Amino acid sequence: MKALITLTSSESKRLIAKGVTALPTVQNAKEKHTIIVAGGTTNAFVAEELLGINIVDKTGYTMGIITKGELGISQSSNRTAPYVICEGQVLEVSWKEYLPKMQRGDIFIKGGNAVDHTGLVAVMVSDSMGGTIGAAQGILYARGIELIVPIGLEKMIPDVRVAVEFMTKSTLDEAFGHKVALIPVVGATVITELTALETLYDVETCCISAGGVDGSEGSVTIAIEGIDKEVQRAIQDIKSLKGEPPLAVH
């Protein structure tokens, strides 16, 4: 059986969050280790799925944000600090404070701003020290800690490596909003709508189209194929997340 599903940006974020939560390594880390869910709007959905909570203003779970056609900083009045989850319990500690304690088996979850067809992702940073990814990457690589990047296909660009090289070959002089740099993230477990679907269901997937209007900007249309039972199960679950409200500052 083959079917088409179309997801808005926020519906994609919900699906991706469910896919991240279903990963065996995440389930194991939730039970026996530590998970840091760094800032990001998609990560707010991940935190909700992991903890069974409701974050009313998900734009308050991030610092950098693209809104009103500009690169900026979240102006949300409802800030939520990134969660540090140890053996299923939230610790009252900042992620930066806990970061040096991380060991193999723990998981660090960080959203991205660009992904290409090879699965290479990159993160935009305005902080001169490299922001969250700049602080975390060295420890994660040195200790063999899994880095998971939940990212929607709406953020697909032609070539991340080319983009990074283009941005680093000269100084940025002007920008609509904040000036940012682009940091590549190699070796991450990248979870898009496609990998989320293939994690949650025994199906094959292919993104066949992107875009829309009247609230469906950033949408993706995905073909899924598999045995009838699995495709129908996926369709029913997708119906349950249809109508996920778009993100807005509260």
- Two structure tokens written together for 222: 């995905």
67-81, 105-119, 175-189, 215-229: which has the minimum mean pLDDT?
67-81
Cα–Cα distance measured from residue 132 to residue 114, given in angstroms and rounded to the nearest whole number = 16
Q: What is the pLDDT of residue 128?
A: 76
Q: Which amino acid is at 28?
A: N
pLDDT of the residue at 127: 77
**pTM of the complete model:** 0.95
pLDDT tens-digit series, residues 50-84 = 999 999 899 888 888 888 888 888 888 788 899 99
Q: Is 46 helix (H, G, I), strand (E, B) or coil?
A: helix
Mean predicted lDDT score pLDDT of the chain: 94
- What is residue 224's predicted lDDT score, i.e. its pLDDT? 98
pLDDT at 250: 64
- Tell me what the mean pLDDT of segment 34-47 comes to: 96
Contacts of 138 (CB under 8 A, 6+ apart): none
Joined tokens for residue 183: 């940091």
* Torsion on CA atoms 150, 152, 156, 162, rounded to nearest 10: -20
pLDDT in tens, 115-160: 999 999 999 998 777 788 988 999 999 999 999 999 999 999 999 9
